[in-house]
Amino acid sequence: MKQKHSNRLCSVIVSILVVLIVLIAVSLFWVNSRLCFVDYTPYSYSESGDTIKNPYVGLYSIRGYMLAEDATFSLPEANAAIDSASSSFELSLIEINLKNYGNCDLSDNALSQIDSILSAWTKTGSQLILRFLYDWDGQNLESEPNELSQILIHMEQVGPIVNKYASSVYILQGIFVGNWGEMNNTTHMGNGEMETLIQKLDDVIDPSIFLSVRTPAQWRTIVGEYHDTKLPHCPQPNLLSSLASRLGLYNDGMLGSANDTGTYGDKAAADLDTNYSDAWTREDELAFQNDLCRYVPNGGEVIIDNVYNDFDNAVKDLSQMHVSYLNSDYDSTVLNKWKETIVNGTDDVWNGMSGYDYIERHLGYRYVLDSSSLKFHPLFDDTGMLTVTIRNVGFSNCYRPLEASVYVVSDLTGDCVAKVPIDTDPRLWNSGESSSFTVPIDVRSLNNRENNTYTLYLKCSDTTLNRTILFANTQSLTEYGYELGSIEVSRGIGCSLLILIVSTTTSAIRRSSRLTTASRTEPLSRRHSWI
């Protein structure tokens, strides 16, 4: 009876051991199938002070065209696009003078001339700042239309032609009136006429093209009129209206005096009697632009050698105004002052450079890859989370949408095995700040490949222009962008080792089972013969 009980107990033990073996084997196989080890080595990033050519930013040149029935123009080569890398500037300001049609509609011939001008310049690869005007000589009252309705007709006439080249026309400056098209010395700015003109442009010009007015006070007047609200500070424009979200500034009196030659006023924004349409003090207007021009572009030309455009003061104000473009020719006295200034500071990237080169390189956005890291748990995570940090060291943001992606490239074949779009808006990579974003990388799919080493790249592109955005890093640009780092993926502990572990465990259990059984069946005298 005791023997039977003992045998049953032994069977139970053996059964339990078998179950344990199975559970251990299943667990080990599951763990092994999940185990994925990742070793990420970030690239050694370093900032470059070299010139880089990116769209929508930098110095611009001016070309002017006077429309007339018998006019002939010297246009860029019509059949050969100028490679952007060889172009002197990314931006061109195209001024089209309508003086000869001040009191009549534009003829078919004049409209055809506008089309030819924009077509030729589009083929250069340059982004265009466009200005229609009636005066080049400071005598606007003698040449602009007497009736507002005529200006509105001109706007309606040119709208379809401008929209035809919307991918190239970046900004339309002004509202056609004023000396040099600068919205001064005109009869069409009061009694709501300014608002009527800008609203017409908003109606007839493609929404992708930015509009610009001459002063912050004009911007506030236009936006405040449409929204019946006072704006002591500028909110994010895209929270207001479609017009506010595309309405920027241009300042052709930039840094020319304490009030930028009449651009600013003498009223404090905080005063109770101050209206949103008043021109505020320089300090308040700079603060206003610091808010506004994170979302819409600001640029123009610097004038008149004075303390406000001394290098250190210029850098401070250009940064606060988020200036992205400047005239390359005017004022030469100020530009030459910058060329003669040598940068001295704590940043070795810029020390020894001329002030002119420093400012030119900081106009607009300028991205620097700062760091990257990858977080992945070998057992519990399905994807690795790649974190990338970028600094925008330029004076402004980028205002056109960009596409950013991470490319995973096999070191064995050189082929791209994955392209991961990044859930980020580069327009919000703020100037003077660092921005971080996280990208999911499907590490486990890489684990199933024969190759186990990969290189990660970041590429930022303007899909409208089919241009890759250049970063201000010392590393070279590849077809997949800029190297972020390398990743090595390894599998679990290996089948052979796993089998060895299971077989070793099984053998140990069997030996234990045999010993237990033998000890229970041996005669008592033999088991205790040593006593």
Q: Which tens digits make up the pLDDT trace of 283-313? A: 999 999 999 999 999 999 999 999 999 999 9
**Residue 284 in contact with residue 269, Cβ under 8 Å?**
yes
- Pairing between β-strand 91-97 and β-strand 58-66 as defined by DSSP bridges: parallel
Q: How far is it, in rounded angstroms, from Cα 38 to Cα 36? A: 7
Per-residue confidence at 273, pLDDT binned at 50, 70, 90?
A: confident
Greater model confidence, 386 or 451: 386
Q: What is the pLDDT of residue 508?
A: 53
Sheet hosting strand 433-441, strand order edge to edge: 367-375, 384-392, 433-441
Q: What is the mean pLDDT of residues 430-440?
A: 96
273 Cβ contact list (under 8 Å, min separation 6): none
Count of Cβ atoms closer than 10 Å to residue 409 Cβ:
22
| Residue 523 pLDDT exceeds 90 | no
Average pLDDT, the chain: 86
Q: What is the pLDDT of residue 520?
A: 46
Count of Cβ atoms closer than 10 Å to residue 275 Cβ:
13
The least confident of 12-26, 272-286, 290-304, 389-403 is: 12-26
Q: What is the pLDDT of residue 50?
A: 96
Q: What is the pLDDT of residue 315?
A: 98
Q: What is the pLDDT of residue 6?
A: 66
> Exposed (0-12), middle (13-18) or buried (19+): which is 103, by Cβ within 10 Å?
exposed
**Residue 319 in contact with residue 286, Cβ under 8 Å?**
no
Q: List pLDDT tens digits, range 200-251.
A: 999 999 999 999 999 999 999 998 844 444 444 555 666 556 899 999 999 9
Angle at 204 between CA 200 and CA 208, to 5 degrees: 115
319 Cβ contact list (under 8 Å, min separation 6): 362, 395, 431, 432
Q: What is the pLDDT of residue 192?
A: 92
**Residue 260 in contact with residue 211, Cβ under 8 Å?**
no
Helix, coil or strand: residue 366? coil
Nearest in space to 243 (alpha carbons), one of 223, 262, 228, 272: 223
Helix, coil or strand: residue 28? helix
Helix, coil or strand: residue 98? coil
Greater model confidence, 343 or 449: 343
Q: What is the pLDDT of residue 422?
A: 94
Q: What is the pLDDT of residue 80?
A: 43
Residue whose entry in the numeric block shows the structure tokens 């507002």: 148
**Residue 72 in contact with residue 378, Cβ under 8 Å?**
no
266 Cβ contact list (under 8 Å, min separation 6): 259, 279, 281
| Residue 526 pLDDT exceeds 60 | no
Per-residue confidence at 512, pLDDT binned at 50, 70, 90?
A: low
Per-residue confidence at 531, pLDDT binned at 50, 70, 90?
A: very low
The least confident of 62-71, 146-155, 387-396, 505-514 is: 505-514
Amino acid at 67: L
| Residue 524 pLDDT exceeds 50 | no
Q: How far is it, in rounded angstroms, from Cα 204 to Cα 157? A: 9
| pTM of the full structure | 0.85
Q: How far is it, in rounded angstroms, from Cα 433 to Cα 390? A: 9
Angle at 436 between CA 435 and CA 438, to 5 degrees: 150
Q: List pLDDT tens digits, range 47-103.
A: 999 999 999 999 999 999 999 999 999 998 744 444 444 446 789 999 999 999 999
Amino acid at 337: K
Cα-only R_g, the chain: 35
**Residue 166 in contact with residue 208, Cβ under 8 Å?**
yes
Q: What is the pLDDT of residue 110?
A: 98
Main-chain dihedrals φ then ψ at residue 310, nearest 5 degrees: -60, 150
Nearest in space to 457 (alpha carbons), one of 485, 425, 423: 485
Percent of the chain with pLDDT over 90: 70
**Residue 200 in contact with residue 156, Cβ under 8 Å?**
yes
Q: What is the DSSP letter of 445?
A: H
